Every structure is written in C-alpha cells, then in structure tokens.
Structure 1
Amino acid sequence: MNSKSLLKSLYLIYKFSIRRLRTSYASYGRTQKHPPPEKLSGKTIVCDMEGGLLRTSSTFPYFMLVALEAGGLLRGLLLLILCPLISCLSHEVGLRVMVMVCFLGLRKDKFRVGRAVLPKFFLEEVGLEGFEVVRRGGRRVCVSSMPTVMVEEFLQGYLDVEVVLGRELKVFGGYYTGLMVEEEEEETKASLALEELLGDEKVGKGGAVGFGSYPNSLRKQRLFSHCEEVYSVSEAEKRRWHPLPSSKYPKPLVFHDGRIAFRPTPLAALCMFVWLPLGFLLASARALSFILLPYVLSIPLLALLGMRNRVVTSSPSPRKEEEEEEEARSSRLYITNHRTLLDPLVIAAALRRNVTATTYSVSRISEWISPIRTVRLTRNREEDKRRMKQLLEEGELVVVCPEGTTCREPYLLRFSPLFTEVSREVTPVASETSVTMFYGTSTNKLKFLDPLFFLMNPFPCYEVEFMGRVPTGSIAGEVCSSYQMANHLQGEIGRLLGFHCTSLTRKDKYLMLAGTAGVVDADDKGR
C-alpha cells in the first residue's frame, strides 16, 4: 500500500469515527432540551460551560479581558486586529491563536485575572435556565474550551463545581509559552478524572447526565460519551435565556478588579480603542478644571464636559444666616463610604470650600497634583487619632473614609471606629458612582492612574448625599461604644444607598484580589 492510499484510509477511519461519535451523542438524548428535575436529583451533572451555562458560546470577550488586563493595550489591540482571521478559522485553531496572543510571556505566578477580573463577567453572562439545571445536580463537573486558569476560580469559587476540565497551558521558566497541551493528551487525562469521579455511575447504572450545546471538539464529545443521557440546547434558545440575578449568586460578588467595565465583544472593544485618544484629552481637560479653576467655574465646566454630579442635602429646616456663618468658621468631620480617590474632591466641590482629606497612603503623584490638602495616616491608631484631632483643632473640614479602601459593588466594608473617638459630632455622606467604560479603582501599582481612568469615561457620574450631624456618643439618646456607633453609621449609609453591609475589611479585599495583605511598595501603596 502506497502512502497516498494509507492517508486516504486514515481519513476515512477518522471521518467514520466522527460520525459514530455524533450518532452516539444524538442517541443520548440530543433532541431533548432540558432534563426533567427528577432526572437530576442526586446525579452527577457534566456541563459544557460555554454551551450549557453561559448565554453565548463566544469566548472572545474573555480572552480580550486577559489580553487587556494582563498584557496591556497593545496586546488587546493585536487580538482585535486578528479577530476577523480568528472567525474564519476552525474552533480549535482559532482558540490556539487567541491563547498565543493572550498568554505568551505572562508570568504564571503573577496571573490573577482568572481570580480577580473574569468571575464578574462570567456571572453576568450565566443564564438563569442553565444555572438551574446545574444547581439541581448532586455533583458538578464543568468542561470548558478555555484554559483552566481562566475558569477554575469562577467555577469552583462561585458555583461550587467539584471538577473543572479546562485546557492546560505549557509553561517554561515560570512563564506561559502561549501553547496548549495537545487535545488528545488532555482528553485522556480528563476521561480518567471523570471516570474516577463517576465510579459506579456509568452507562446503564443510573449514570451521569450531560448538558450543553453540541460539542465543538472531539474532547468534549468523548467526555459526554461517559454520560447515560445528554441534553442539548441550541444557540438560538440560549439567546432567550434570562441573566442570572445577583440575588441568586451562590456567592456574593463583593470584590473584583481590572480597568474594563464592559463586556469587550469585538464591536465594543473597537469602540473603546477609537474612544481612547478622545477620552484621554477629555479626562485631562476635566482634571485641569478640578485643579486650576475655582469651584464656581469648574463645576459648570465639568457639566459641559459630560461629568454628571448630583448633590442632595438632608436638612430638616432652613438654617439661619448666623448659623451658617458659625458653621463656616467651625471645624467639621465628614465621613463617607469610599468609591474612588475623588470622593474628597467631590465633597469639597459640593461644599464650595476646600477640605482636608485623610488618606492611608495614596501615590505621591496623586498627592502632588491634588487641589486639596491631603494628610497621610499611619495605621497606628494612637498616632492617627492625634493627627486627626490636631486638624480639627486647627479648624479644618476633614473628610475620612472609615472603610479604608474602595469597593465597587453595592456593599459597604466594615467601618473603623476611629472617627468616633476624635470628634463629638460627625456628618455622614453617602457617595455613589457610575461608569460605563473604565473603572477608577484598582489594586495594582499604577494607582495614580485611577482618577484618570474614571475621568476617561464618556459620562462619569457622582452622587453624594449629605446627612445631618450625628453625635458620636449616643444612638437615639442611649450611650453607645465607638464600635456600635461605627456599625450604626455604616447601616445608615447602607440604607440610604441601598447597599449591603459586610464585616469585610481592606485586608480581605487585597488577599482576594492581589494575594497580599495590602502592603505594597512605599511609593505606590494601596488604599
């Protein structure tokens, strides 16, 4: 037999094998869309993440997030340029191209996008109908075409999936090479892991149930062959799925990181790159307005430049002119929940007066360009108390953020009670922000860019509401401790904003997002 005949025979065998796998898959129930609830009770669910859990099977947005957040703008731009080519390639080849662009040269031990960034976008794309199917199972196995480092933290940390069968990446010298382990090798390992998990749950013995769209790879097809029944859902049906409400998240999403605030589909990513030059110029103009102009001029100009601000004052009755003059001469302590580094600036603009902001260590660059005075605290309780008391004795209007760090989601972190020990009265301020393109907070070392990214949004919005003065020694006329007062004001601000109060702290945030206790370089410490 010559080589040409041999190649033809191998091709026919391969084609026949594919046909057998498809026929086998169809015989396991492909015509049924959703398994009945009674079929799932106590069973092992083998779910295709892209095909049975997310509302769309496109993986491009998640690779774009990896490219932008872990690799930078140039890597993201390269991936966007290659998008038309990737769409013309087969699923496996296109996947390998995206992995090469996104992962080549990244340090394995520094890769945290899968833990800190992607879970938010995965949760927002989970379909309620698919989630209900997976949730009803006894044990959960998820198969994904994406690398394990992208999906494992989300599936195990937020959906309680026991086994994650993703693609493995090759590493050399602690750096990703941009290459994946061969599919045949991964298939063998995944099959063994699945068989070990299933044990006696095999075909004919009340075995596992598979759920997802028709597999786009041999690996997924063969993994589904371990299931007694497989239920399929089409892309058209998934587009009609409802997004999973945040109230049904198995684990609340309190912390997440990254600059991108939108799902970067090809069109959305293209719009972002087109906007970047104009956004930078617009952010610079907004920043200069804050820094150089008096509030009577900067506030209207910022409104013309697209920055929306809303100020609400909770005042039970109009104040007399004498009272306002006395208040203007007196010291005052404002406490606010922490949304961005611009919180004190917005409060100062609302008051039309400069204030002093106490910080726990913003970057030196942020201090240099700040139009208001900033005073660093040391995280030494007695020393910080002394500094704040001295400022109040000097007649300063001081802004304090008791959370000690920013939080993006509608949650309040635990309030430090220190502010209750330096002033007899405080004025709580409830702050909220909204962005559409970039987040103005981060946990990386380039924190001096946080205000710039916030101001680069097309229409950034700030809302602040001033509450009435509150005595720090009593609640409703009853004497209270400093901790009780801190918890009380946390609850009041949370109620006003509609936020949930938590006992989480700055340390919890940085341990989750950065793997540290929040202690970084002295020149660029985290808030």
Structure 2
Amino acid sequence: MAAGEFPTVDVCPSIGREKDTVVADMDGTLLRGRSSFPYFALVAFEVGGVLRLLFLLLLAPLAGVLYYFVSESAGIRVLIFATFAGMRVSDIESVARAVLPKFYSGDLHSESWRVFSSCGKRCVLTANPRIMVEAFLKEFLGADMVLGTEVSTYGGRATGFVKEPGVLVGKNKAEALKAAFGEAPPEIALGDRHTDFPFMSLCKEGYIVPPKPEVKAVTIEKLPKPIIFHDGRLVQKPTPFLALLTILWIPVGFLLACLRIAAGSLLPMPLVYYAFWALGVRVTVKGTPPPPVHKSSTQSGVLFICSHRTLLDPIFLSTALGRPIPAVTYSVSRLSEIISPIKTVRLSRDRATDAAMIKKLLQEGDLAICPEGTTCREPFLLRFSSLFAELTDELVPVAMVNRMSMFHGTTARGWKGMDPFYFFMNPSPAYEVTFLNKLPRELTCGAGKSSHEVANYIQRVIAATLSYECTTFTRKDKYRALAGNDGTVVEKPRRQVMGC
C-alpha cells in the first residue's frame, strides 16, 4: 500500500479496544524520535566506555549513508556491530534494564501511546535488537510480546552480527508477524515509514504515525509504572553532536575534576566554598544552620539528617557550614576515603554496634548521616532508617539538591570510586543545601515519640521542601530493581512513609 492509503494515527479510535491486539513499530512510532543512534550510544558508553562511543561515532556516517542510500538493514547492521561486538551479554541486559528506560520513557509518542495502551494485547515489532528494548517495553509499557532483531552471541558475548533472518525491516517484519500470529491477524498496526507497510498490510487496520517534532511526549504520571530507579553516567540522551561533545570534553573535564577535588581536599574548609565558586562549582546555602557546639559543653553534637543525592553530600554540607562534619556511611570506596576532606566512618549494619558508634561520635561533635542508605536520582525519597532518632534529640533535617549537565555523580553498576570525579567533570555542577528547622523537643524520642514517627516526620518535611514524593522503597529494593529482580516495585509509588 502507499502511504496515502493508511490513515494517520490521530484518527484511530481508542475506546472499546480492550479485546483488540495492536502491533507497533518502535522508532518514529512508539517513540517520537526516528533515530536509534542515541540508544546505541548509551549502550556503547555505559558498557564500553568513551573509546567504544568514539568507535560508534566514527562509524555512524557510514551507517547513515547505508541506511538512506542502500538499505535500512545495512545501516542498522553497522550500528549493531559497532555497539555490541565483544560485549558481555549480561552487561547489555543490565544497561537495557537500568539505563535505557529513563531515556525511552522521555520520548514516548502521545498519540501512539493512546492507541497502544488502549488495547488488550500489545506487541512491538522493531528493527532494534530485542536484547536492547525488551526490558523497557515489557516492564514499563506492558508489552506482551517483543519481536526484534536477534544479536548473535558466542561464549556469553555478542559477536556484533545478527541471526537469521537478519534485521527486522520490510518483508522480514511481515514474516515475523506471520510466524507469531499465524492465521489470526492483529486488529491494529502502527508504523511510520514505507518499510513498515508490509506488516501493516497484514493487520485489519493500519495507521501511519507522521513525523511531527512538535508532538509532546507522554508525561511520567501516565506511564503504567513510574521510573524510580535509574543508573548510568550520562545525563542527556547522546545525539551525534552531544556524543562528540562528550568525547572531546572528557579529557578536559577529568583534569578539571582533579583540580576541584584537590581544592576541596587540601584547602581549609572555610576556604573551600570560595575555591569551588572560583572553579565553577556553584554552592547555594538556604536556611539558618545551627552554630557549632563548644567542645567543653556537655551538650550532644547536632546530627544532620540529609537527603542522599551523591557521596559528596556530607562534603557539601561541610562546605556550607564552613567546618568539617564527619559522616557515617554504609559503604564508601577506598579512593573516596583517601580524597575525602572529612572523616568518614563505616556502618557495620549491626544496629547495636552502629548505635554505640554514632553516640560516641556525637559526644565528640556534630555528625552527618544520610538515612536513605542509597542515592535516588528521581524526585523520590526512599524509606528512612529510624536508627538515628533513638540516639539524640539534636536533629537538623537538611534537604540536598544537586544539578549536573553531562554526567551523573552516582552509580550502582560501575566503580563507585569514580563517582566524585564524574560529578566534578560537569562543566558547572551545583549543589543546593537547605537547612531546615531543628526538630522541636516535643517531636523527638526524648518526648515520647517512637523512632519511626521521628523518621517519618523528618522524611516528610524534607520531601515537602524538595517537592519530592516519599516511597516505602529501601536500599535493597533499588539494587533488586536494577538487577532485574524488582518484585517489590508497585504500579504507582505509595505516598505514605514507614520507618524501618
């Protein structure tokens, strides 16, 4: 059929489709963007690093020429080879589960999603490698079936070549649809280009998704399940231009990061605030921090309860206060301990042992703790540990916010020792430290409140300050989700909080 023989997707009715089956293409159909390069680039960088990203970028012009002037299949084969050759299959699956969903969900086509989400059975038929897209499509879009290009593997690693029948474009898509559905054709087909017409013609209804850059993406709250846990180093989706810019910036950024880290580690803490500003690191302080406790006083030190954005939270807290504040943490790399300008103490995860250690540290002065236990990039606060509430009534909540333009300063899959370097590699990273009011006596454990009530109250006031949502998810839930075992994840984040 010619393009004019298929109506556009905006005229497709979506009411009463609960018993219908929909088959949709991905790039340019379910997604607004017609190019899959940014997603291949994410896999290349997250698994293979900057050199693999450079290799992909160098082959991208060849892929483009083949795609537009020879065949779509040839161009996609080049992208697959440049990205996947030699990679461990487990690493590709990890990135597909923990990194790509955040970027895919931000580009979901609103009209296509209206039709796709209205149908009772959903199938995606795509030229993209199935291993790269299946986790997002099934977990976040509720796809029942994903038919994609199969990548050849050997010894647990991808070869970079594709299995027969090859890349799913044109007639290959139609054959895959026939094999999956047999003589019972699906009701609806969604596509966006002439190579989709063969499979669209096999369905009872076919609709074209025209290229409209002005179409808005689906908002997060309309997704079947919110994206709470996200990993990966890159902040922005790497278009060819941004990929080139990232490659060129990394050597400069690493030297700048070393200089910023050296300034924070070697200068006296009262000068670090000014040194950071001189080196392009913006630190904004809001609220009124409490004065330091005199060592001669019998009063317990203040326990600063911080929301957890990166490993650098206690350092920027100290920068805002102008004095070093020791911090307790569940885990920190040896490299981070060496370069840290403040004292860090590891928690043993034994409640009695940790309580005794924290009490001792508070007798010596102020202390910082991030009771979420792990970082969360999205606007959510994970469940707070209630241990801290039992140890002192001198509690000051602190709302931490950071802003990065190129690299995330946190990781769950990578080497955490590089977290500070990636944060400081951003051209102009920023931290906002907001000191909230010290907890009134009547809201502490000393006045009869339970530790869970205190933890919940502090979590709520921090969340309200940041306009974040509280969840009951824990540190363990995060790592289960990023590892693919996310049985604790709910369809929508629960709004209540619960101490542990």
1:374 corresponds to 2:372: no
| Per-residue deviation, 1:41 | 5.2
Residue 149 (structure 1) shift? 1.1
Q: 1:261 aligns with which of 235, 257, 261?
A: 235
Matched, 1:58 2:44: no
Find the residue that maps to 2:106 and give its secondary structure.
Answer: helix
Partner Cα distance (2:162, 2:88) in 1 = 15
Q: Is the 1:44–1:141 contact (alpha carbons within 8 Å) kept by the matching residues of 2? A: yes
> Is the partner of 1:183 in helix, strand or coil?
coil
Secondary structure of 1:510's partner? Answer: helix
1:39 is displaced (CA, Å) by 7.4
- SS of match in other structure, 2:97: helix
Deviation at 1:57, TM superposition (A): 0.9
| Whole-Å separation in 2 of the counterparts to 1:185 and 1:468 | 60
In the TM superposition, 1:28-427 aligns within 5 A as 29-30=6-7, 34-38=11-15, 40=17, 42-90=19-67, 91-111=72-92, 112-183=94-165, 187=172, 190-192=176-178, 194-195=180-181, 200=184, 202=185, 207-216=186-195, 220-235=196-211, 237=212, 239-314=213-288, 330=299, 331-393=301-363, 395-427=364-396
Q: CA deviation at 1:476?
A: 12
Gaps of 5+ in 2: 487-500
Contact 1:40 1:209 in 2 (8 A): no
- CA distance in 1: counterparts of 2:360 and 2:77, whole angstroms: 61
Tell me if the contact between 2:304 and 2:395 (Cα under 8 Å) persists in the aligned partners: yes
Counterpart code for 1:409: E
CA 1:473/1:145 → structure 2, altered by over 3 Å: closer, same or farther? farther
1:497 to 460, 466, 474: 466
Cα 1:424–1:272, aligned 2, differ >3 Å: closer, same or farther? same
Deviation at 1:443, TM superposition (A): 1.1
Over the aligned positions, Cα root-mean-square deviation in angstroms equals 2.4
Match of 2:483 in 1: 514
Q: How far, CA to CA, are the matches of 2:32 and 2:105 in structure 1?
A: 10
Paired residue for 2:422? 453
Does the 8 Å contact 1:426/1:472 carry over to 2? no
Counterparts of 2:76 and 2:193, CA distance in 1: 17
Q: Distance in 2 between matches of 1:189 and 1:362?
A: 52
- Alpha-carbon distance between aligned partners in 1 of 2:220 and 2:295, rounded to the nearest angstrom: 43
Partner of 1:488: 457
Larger Rg: 1
Shift of 1:349: 1.0
Which segments of 5 or more consecutive residues in structure 1 lack a partner in the other structure?
1-21, 518-527
- The 3 A distance-change label for structure 1 pair 515 and 56 is closer
Once the two structures are superposed, residues 177-224 of structure 1 have per-residue CA deviations (whole angstroms, 9 ceiling, x without a partner) of 11112336964873245315xx75x3xxxx5111120243xxx44432
Q: Give the aligned partner of residue 15 of structure 1.
A: none
2:413 is the counterpart of 1:444: yes
Q: Assess, with a 3 A threshold, how the Cα gap between structure 1 residues 77 and 463 changes in structure 2: closer, same or farther.
A: same
Count, aligned residues? 475
Give the TM-score of the pair, scaled to structure 1: 0.85
Asked if the contact 1:335–1:426 (Cα under 8 Å) also holds between the matched residues in 2, the reply is: yes
Shift of 1:164: 0.9
Q: 1:184 to 1:345 in 2, by over 3 A?
A: closer
